[in-house]
Structure 1
Amino acid sequence: MPNNPSAPPPRQKRERTVFRRLDGILLLDKPQGLSSNQALQRVRHLFRADKGGHTGSLDPLATGLLPVCFGEATKIAGGLLGARKAYETVARLGIVTDTDDAEGQPLRERPVPAITIDSIDAALKQLTGRIRQRPPIYSALKRGGEPLYAKARRGETIEIEEREVDVHAFDLVNAADLLDGDEPLLRLHVECGSGTYVRSLVRDLGELLGCGAHVAELRRLWVDPFREPRMWTLQALENLLAQAGERVLEACLLPIEAGMTSWPQVRVSEAQAQRLGRGQGLRGPYQPQGQVALLDEHGRGLGLGEVDAEGGLRPARLFRWASATGALPEAGTP
């Protein structure tokens, strides 16, 4: 049969990723346009990590720090979800959207009144501290096992209850665009606790200012305990892999211990580590009461433990190497 010159070239078969055991934490600079899960899967395939998870979603519109946990680091990811976080955001005044950000459909538009720095600061003060906040309808919060955004996309009527959140700081960075009459934009800095939605803060700020608002830009700056993060973009990681290979790529990972500094630390001897590895508790007194990070005599992480009211210590979530043999991997070993 003669070749057909107009036929499209045959599709290249995509090589299947061969995953491997890999432990560590990547401080990813998430790009705009990807969901947090899409970004996670991209880096998981780059590193060929058999297990991975992220610590707190960022909206597709948002950029910035997304800590990604590989392997045994996923066992501490839940504790990092509740960490304090900081953001820079740009609020666009005068337009309210159904998602409370620039990716949504406009619901209503109002003129922006004459606004002073004092009135902005007064409104920001009302939204600082322990406040009650209504999360956005388009959010990953689940009801009946299904994310709210899925219900919203089907046009279902959704009632969302207010809940208490902690806003440690909500400050004006720059109002030059608004005051100069260029665009009705406010540049803001936010520090908040777990469960706080910056989109809701900006929406409520717009209502206090009498004109409505939505998030035009959002960037996460840091997440405890990573206050001064060295972040890696997807492009930089892809270039490293292509130019220098997998071993150099692995050097971008932080050790698991870097993510354990938010917990009080308890060091144990080799004999005590063996007892914990067998699931046995240790008599104290240990302190403080509650969840603690378990380290061996050399500072290597063993996992998470729990100190009870009597000062006894028991294992909670141990890493795979915290076994009865007491054998630990060498630093940097995948």
Structure 2
Amino acid sequence: MGRRRKGRAVSGILILDKPLERSSNSAMIVARAIYKAAKAGHTGALDPLASGVLPICFGEATKFSQYLLDADKVYRCSVVFGERRSTGDAEGEVIAECDTSALCAADIEAALPAFRGDILQVPPMHSALKRDGKPLYELARRGLEVEREARPVRISRFDMESFAPGPRAEASFLVHCSKGTYIRSLAEDLGAALGVGAYVSALRRLQAGPFVESQALNFDDLQPLRDREAFAELDALLLPVDSALGHLPAAELGAAAADFLRQGQPVFVPRLPSGERFRLYGPGDTAAEFIGVGELLDDGRLAPRRLLANM
């Protein structure tokens, strides 16, 4: 018999504004403690030197965190040209320098189209990707560098918002990208294309999947409620579990079909919208109740894939 988890059986999604100088895992642990939640997980790591939107899933919402891990992200980043750094960001040591006084905004604008669309990107050594079971950043800290295979990513937007010329020119960019994109690598590759080198001096995530900066709460918003043990008020700040799944079409089920699905049995559902995966809703006391995610089989039946626990 499994050990019972300590904490509250709270379910939902907290949109956290992750502070600087804190890892995503550390931020998740603090959020879990504030909510006194039995189960929690984050949905895609942000570097300690990055801030911004970090969805935290509690309870049953953790079953659907993969949809947020797979979602597109939007960032605002500041880039300094004329320096290469060992980590690709402000934390690293300077490994090369040059004067960028001749660099102008038009040069950067001319280089950007090559980095938009479907591109191949080599992950940085200072990343959590693993080689033989060890994170690459551990090897990098020992002064080792290993070959990394380029991976496909999609850059939907890479737009320059501002430019400040000088010996160390600086620019701000808005980046909309697919999962697995490294903004540090994007900046370094842009600097290499311009022949001057570059690193990320500041990074903020503005959006993760459907969740945006204006929804994000910081620890200063949450801690006073925890100090008063105002758990009902804290819970009211959570978004519903299905808020991460708005990109999936909805399938509304009758009581019998919902019961069969909960038992793991595929069912025929008339008048399904087009799609392969669906948000599933069954009859509730006052409105349709989210019960999980289903997948359309080749024979036209809808099969359960991820279901909420019966509570």
- Please give the TM-score of this superposition, normalised by the length of structure 1: 0.86
1:326 maps to what in 2? none
Alpha-carbon shift at residue 182 of structure 1 (Å): 8.1
The structure 1 residue matched to 2:81, chosen from 83, 88, 93, is 93
The answer to whether the 8 A contact 2:125-2:145 is kept is no
The structure 2 residue matched to 1:235, chosen from 220, 228, 232, is 220
Give the 3-state SS of the residue equivalent to 2:205 in structure 1.
strand
**Is the counterpart of residue 290 in structure 1 residue 276 in structure 2?**
yes
**Is the counterpart of residue 313 in structure 1 residue 302 in structure 2?**
yes
**Is the counterpart of residue 168 in structure 1 residue 156 in structure 2?**
yes
The answer to whether the 8 A contact 1:27-1:68 is kept is yes
| 1:255 partner amino acid | P
More strand as a share of residues: 2
C-alpha spacing 1:304/1:149, structure 2 compared with 1 (3 Å) = same
Alpha-carbon shift at residue 243 of structure 1 (Å): 4.7
Q: Give the whole-Å Cα distance in 2 for the aligned partners of 1:271 and 1:66.
A: 38
Give the 3-state SS of the residue equivalent to 2:91 in structure 1.
coil
Q: Give the whole-Å Cα distance in 2 for the aligned partners of 1:143 and 1:262.
A: 34
Q: Give the whole-Å Cα distance in 2 for the aligned partners of 1:299 and 1:96.
A: 55
**Is the counterpart of residue 302 in structure 1 residue 291 in structure 2?**
yes
The structure 1 residue matched to 2:235, chosen from 222, 225, 250, is 250
Q: Give the whole-Å Cα distance in 1 for the aligned partners of 2:282 and 2:214.
A: 26
- C-alpha distance after superposition, 1:189-216 (max 9, x if no partner): 0001111111111111111121100000
Q: Give the whole-Å Cα distance in 2 for the aligned partners of 1:79 and 1:18.
A: 26
Percent identity over the alignment?
A: 40
Alpha-carbon shift at residue 24 of structure 1 (Å): 0.4
2:119 maps to what in 1? 131
Q: Give the whole-Å Cα distance in 2 for the aligned partners of 1:265 and 1:183.
A: 51
1:195 maps to what in 2? 180
C-alpha spacing 1:231/1:90, structure 2 compared with 1 (3 Å) = same
Q: How does 1:11-26 map to 2 (within 5 A)?
A: 19-26=7-14
| 2:159 partner amino acid | D
Unaligned stretches of 5+ residues in structure 2 = none
| 2:47 partner amino acid | D
C-alpha spacing 1:240/1:182, structure 2 compared with 1 (3 Å) = farther
- C-alpha distance after superposition, 1:210-236 (max 9, x if no partner): 110000000000112124641111122
- C-alpha distance after superposition, 1:99-123 (max 9, x if no partner): 1111112221122151222211111
Q: Give the whole-Å Cα distance in 2 for the aligned partners of 1:249 and 1:278.
A: 33
Q: How does 1:44-63 map to 2 (within 5 A)?
A: 44-63=32-51
Q: Give the whole-Å Cα distance in 1 for the aligned partners of 2:223 and 2:269.
A: 48
C-alpha spacing 1:109/1:299, structure 2 compared with 1 (3 Å) = farther
Give the 3-state SS of the residue equivalent to 2:278 in structure 1.
strand
- C-alpha distance after superposition, 1:61-99 (max 9, x if no partner): 000000000000001100111111111000011111121
- C-alpha distance after superposition, 1:18-71 (max 9, x if no partner): 512110000000000001000000100110111111111100000000000000
| 1:288 partner amino acid | S
| 2:63 partner amino acid | K
**Is the counterpart of residue 72 in structure 1 residue 57 in structure 2?**
no
- Please give the TM-score of this superposition, normalised by the length of structure 2: 0.92
The answer to whether the 8 A contact 2:82-2:167 is kept is no
2:204 maps to what in 1? 219
2:93 maps to what in 1? 105
Q: How many positions carry a matched residue from both structures?
A: 303
The answer to whether the 8 A contact 2:19-2:52 is kept is yes
| 2:304 partner amino acid | P
